[in-house]
């Protein structure tokens, strides 16, 4: 989130992280970096790795490893702390020279180097809506009793996959119903736009919102951007020489804009079919 890694924790009494907490953590991190403490990779039978994590109360990692199929598992140490990583780590903490830590929402944001200029921090980009979506996702997980992948694996093993899907569908339908209510409450709306990359569910979402709007007495018409694609020989080419259907100019913008303008002003149009 915001070009960094977000995390939160709750102190005794379920209080959110404070500026003082962040400063103490920042100082301790700098001490570890100044000491150039080494990261050590360890390989052990999964049963041994599970025991190490269980002894430390890392139940999320225990569930993940116990529901996997690996005979051996890796874990890393940095002094006394033990943890799991999906990728290789730098040899020692002294390599970590460009970073930042600051208060963010109800938790912390670990800022990392810019991808294009590793000698400086990536600029912080406020993303309140993204954070709101993330927070909602966490709330949904709590409702479903899932806090990590291990929980999902256990639920599937226990034959609860269908139940999880049904609850997820119900939560999503409830959210779509609220969106339809909000659209209906805003008088005079003539156009609702749904954004997202390919295969993100835009068409499905538009159909489900249309159904909910139908319940409220509206008769929406779904307009698919797919029908506004230009001819294949006019589609932009990406840097790898492949047809780039994600490019803005893959759409006939002039036709789309003119037809949306006509519809907004109450004029009839003949929709294209790709």
Q: Residue 218: CB partners within 8 Å, gap ≥ 6?
A: 184
Per-residue pLDDT of 4-35, as tens digits, reads 999 987 656 667 888 998 999 999 999 999 99
Per-residue pLDDT of 48-103, as tens digits, reads 999 999 999 999 899 999 998 899 999 999 999 999 888 889 999 999 999 999 99
What is the predicted pLDDT for the residue at 31?
96
Q: Residue 122: CB partners within 8 Å, gap ≥ 6?
A: 3, 4, 111, 112, 113, 114, 115
| Mean pLDDT for all residues in the chain | 91
Helix (H) or strand (E) holding 53: helix 46-55
- For residue 141, what pLDDT band results from cuts at 50, 70 and 90? confident
Q: In whole angstroms, how far apart are CA 27 and each of 31, 45, 60, 102, 191? A: 6, 35, 28, 12, 51
Q: In whole angstroms, how far apart are CA 250 and each of 68, 121, 195, 226, 229? A: 43, 34, 16, 10, 6
Q: What percent of the chain stands above pLDDT 70?
A: 98
* pLDDT greater than 80 at residue 40: yes
What is the predicted pLDDT for the residue at 232?
86
Per-residue pLDDT of 237-270, as tens digits, reads 988 888 888 888 888 999 999 999 999 999 999 9
Torsion of CA 264, 266, 268, 271, to 10 degrees: 20
What is the predicted pLDDT for the residue at 120?
95
What is the predicted pLDDT for the residue at 234?
86
DSSP state of 188: T
What is the predicted pLDDT for the residue at 11?
59
What is the predicted pLDDT for the residue at 69?
87
- For residue 196, what pLDDT band results from cuts at 50, 70 and 90? confident
Q: Which of 117, 115, 83 is nearest to 7 (CA)?
A: 83
What is the predicted pLDDT for the residue at 255?
95
Per-residue pLDDT of 79-91, as tens digits, reads 999 998 888 899 9
Angle at CA of residue 251, ends 249 and 254, nearest 5°: 90
Beta-sheet pairing, 4-7 with 39-45: unpaired
- For residue 161, what pLDDT band results from cuts at 50, 70 and 90? very high
């Amino acid at each position: 989130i915001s070009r960094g890694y977000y995390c939160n924790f709750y102190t005794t009494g379920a209080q959110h992280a404070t500026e003082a907490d962040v400063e103490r953590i920042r100082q301790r991190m700098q001490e570890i970096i100044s000491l150039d403490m080494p990261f050590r990779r360890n390989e052990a039978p999964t049963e041994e790795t599970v025991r190490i994590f269980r002894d430390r109360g890392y139940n999320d990692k225990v569930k993940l490893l116990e529901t996997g199929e690996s005979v051996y598992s890796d874990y890393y140490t940095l002094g006394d702390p033990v943890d799991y990583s999906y990728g290789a780590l730098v040899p020692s903490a002294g390599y970590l020279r460009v970073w930042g830590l600051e208060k963010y929402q109800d938790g912390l944001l670990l800022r990392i180097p810019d991808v294009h200029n590793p000698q400086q921090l990536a600029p912080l980009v406020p993303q309140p809506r993204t954070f709101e979506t993330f927070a909602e996702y966490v709330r949904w997980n709590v409702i479903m009793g899932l806090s990590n992948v291990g929980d999902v694996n256990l639920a599937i093993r226990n034959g609860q996959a269908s139940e999880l899907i049904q609850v997820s569908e119900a939560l999503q339908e409830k959210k779509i119903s609220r969106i339809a209510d909000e659209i209906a409450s805003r008088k005079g709306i003539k156009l609702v736009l749904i954004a997202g990359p390919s295969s993100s569910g835009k068409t499905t979402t538009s159909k489900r919102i249309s159904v909910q709007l139908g319940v409220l007495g509206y008769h929406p018409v779904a307009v698919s951007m797919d029908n506004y694609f230009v001819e294949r020989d006019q589609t932009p080419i990406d840097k790898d020489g492949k047809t780039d259907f994600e490019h803005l100019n893959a759409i006939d913008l002039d036709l789309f804009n003119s037809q949306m303008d006509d519809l907004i002003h109450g004029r009839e149009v003949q929709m294209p079919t790709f």
